[in-house]
Amino acid sequence: MNTAYILTGGNLGNRQQNLQTAAMVIEEQCGDIIALSALYETAAWGYTEQPDFLNQVLVLQTQLQPEQLMSELLQIEEKMGRVRTVKFGPRIIDIDILLFNQLIIKSELLTLPHPALHERRFALTPLQEVAPQLPHPVLHKTISQLLHECHDTSNVQKIS
Instruction: Write out the catalytic residue numbers.
Output: 82, 91, 94, 96
Sign, CA dihedral 14-26-69-124, equals: positive
Rg of the Cα trace of the chain? 14
Strand-pairing partners, residue 100, are: 4
3-state secondary structure of 149: helix
Which among 54, 120, 51, 43 is positioned nearest to 90, based on CA atoms?
A: 51
Phi-psi region of 70 (alpha: psi -120 to 50; beta: other; left: phi over 0): alpha
CA–CA dist 118, 40 (Å, integer)? 17
Backbone angles phi, psi at 111, to 5 degrees: -120, 125
